[in-house]
């Protein structure tokens, strides 16, 4: 089973290439290098070799030392300083600076070490606050991001700026993906700090265990596009191998598969067999009501790609959480 966390891993060996990954564990900068000698299959078989704990992010020297040691030909760059709404609001400077350093270190080392391709990871939360919907790949820089996480948002946007500049000055085709709401095993299930689905899963698990009602924040009417981490991982590999553009690509189910929070809550309730009351606390904010992203570009390339049905994906995730409750990040 592939290892996934609040950002997700994809790893494997592609013929003679080493896929080098950067992963951040919360706020500490430790790098795990995952290399597998197994050929990739659709099931994404994994083998994790003992990693080296080494500081990468904020230090250019340490980043370069890692590249020197492992000489990757390709990089999937997932490492970032991330956090929930409230931490972002308090620490915009740290989110800006640390992420700019991480990104510059990885992209510059990749360039210096002649890495053929880097696929970085953006997010729909970095798009302009005032915008029309659906959002698409051309709109990232069309206005300021939301005030609460502008540090993180600008740092991520600058990955795209640096990719374009690397292409313009050196012909490098480094690119980035833009997932919508990701969920799956190995997520960060912290209720205060985490995202909506892992938060729901954790809360439902506890409600069932303690025989209390499930309290859902908000009205349940907000709409989201969810993408299962395993589907995202498969798409990441396609981007690494086949997607040739420098402009980023949105990886998401289509607009037609947008779901309400209530729908998601029902799926979680069903998956965990929760039979108690579900209460929607409308005093809590819904967040943005809709942030529909267009996946037209993805569909142009992969018209037949099949996403895992939502309920099945939720069931798998809930089963994993129950089986791994003690060690899950929360």
Q: Give the residue numbers annotated as catalytic, written as ranges.
A: 152
Q: Does 12 bind another protein (CB under 8 A)?
A: no
Q: Are 213 and 276 in contact (CB under 8 A)?
A: yes
Residues contacting 211, CB < 8 A, separation 6+? 276
Interacting residues with another protein between 21 and 60 (CB under 8 A): none
Structure tokens at 236: 């990441």
Q: Are 83 and 149 in contact (CB under 8 A)?
A: no
Chain CA centroid to CA 178, Å: 8
Q: Per-residue string for binding with another protein, 113-152, x by CB under 8 A?
A: ----------------------------xxxx-----xx-
Nearest of 136, 106, 91, 99 to residue 247 by alpha carbon: 136
Nearer to another protein, 143 or 309 (CB): 143
Tell me how far CA of residue 216 lies from CA of 46, 185, 252, in angstroms.
35, 21, 24
Interacting residues with another protein between 222 and 281 (CB under 8 A): none
Q: Does 170 bind another protein (CB under 8 A)?
A: yes
How far apart (Å, rounded) are the C-alpha atoms in residues 89 and 159? 21
Q: Which stretch binds another protein (CB under 8 A): 3-11, 23-31, 94-102, 317-325?
A: 94-102
Q: Does 159 bind another protein (CB under 8 A)?
A: no
Nearer to another protein, 91 or 292 (CB): 91
Q: Which stretch binds another protein (CB under 8 A): 95-103, 245-253, 255-263, 273-281?
A: 95-103
Binding site for another protein (CB under 8 A): 90-97, 100, 104, 108, 141-144, 150-151, 154, 158, 161-162, 164-166, 168-170
């Amino acid at each position: 089973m592939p290892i996934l966390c609040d950002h997700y891993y994809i790893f494997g060996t592609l013929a003679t290439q080493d896929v080098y990954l950067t992963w951040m564990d919360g706020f500490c900068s430790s790098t795990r290098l995952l290399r597998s000698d197994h050929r990739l299959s659709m099931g994404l078989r994994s083998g994790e070799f003992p990693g080296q704990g080494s500081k990468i992010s904020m230090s250019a020297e340490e980043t370069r030392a890692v590249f020197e040691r492992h000489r990757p030909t390709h990089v999937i760059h997932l490492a970032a300083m991330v956090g929930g709404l409230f931490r972002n609001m308090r620490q915009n400077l740290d989110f800006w600076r640390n992420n700019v350093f991480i990104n510059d270190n990885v992209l510059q080392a990749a360039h210096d070490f002649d890495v053929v391709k880097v696929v970085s990871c953006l997010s729909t939360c970095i798009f302009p606050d005032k915008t029309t919907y659906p959002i698409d790949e051309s709109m990232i820089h069309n206005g300021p991001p939301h005030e609460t996480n502008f540090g993180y948002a600008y740092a991520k946007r600058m990955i795209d700026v640096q990719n374009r500049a690397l292409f313009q000055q050196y012909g490098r085709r480094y690119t980035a993906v833009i997932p919508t709401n990701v969920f799956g095993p190995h997520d960060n299930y912290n209720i205060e700090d985490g995202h909506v689905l892992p938060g729901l899963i954790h809360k439902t698990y506890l409600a069932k265990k303690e025989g209390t009602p499930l309290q859902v924040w908000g009205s349940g009417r907000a709409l989201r596009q969810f993408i299962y981490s395993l589907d995202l991982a498969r798409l990441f590999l396609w981007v690494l191998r086949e997607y040739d553009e420098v402009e980023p690509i949105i990886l998401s189910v289509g607009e037609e598969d947008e779901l309400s929070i209530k729908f998601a809550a029902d799926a979680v309730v069903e998956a965990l067999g929760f039979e108690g009351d579900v209460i929607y606390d409308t005093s809590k904010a819904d967040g943005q009501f809709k942030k529909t992203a267009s996946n037209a570009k993805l569909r142009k390339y992969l018209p037949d790609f099949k996403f895992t049905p939502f309920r099945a994906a939720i069931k798998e995730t809930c089963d994993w959480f129950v089986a791994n409750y003690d060690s899950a990040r929360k």
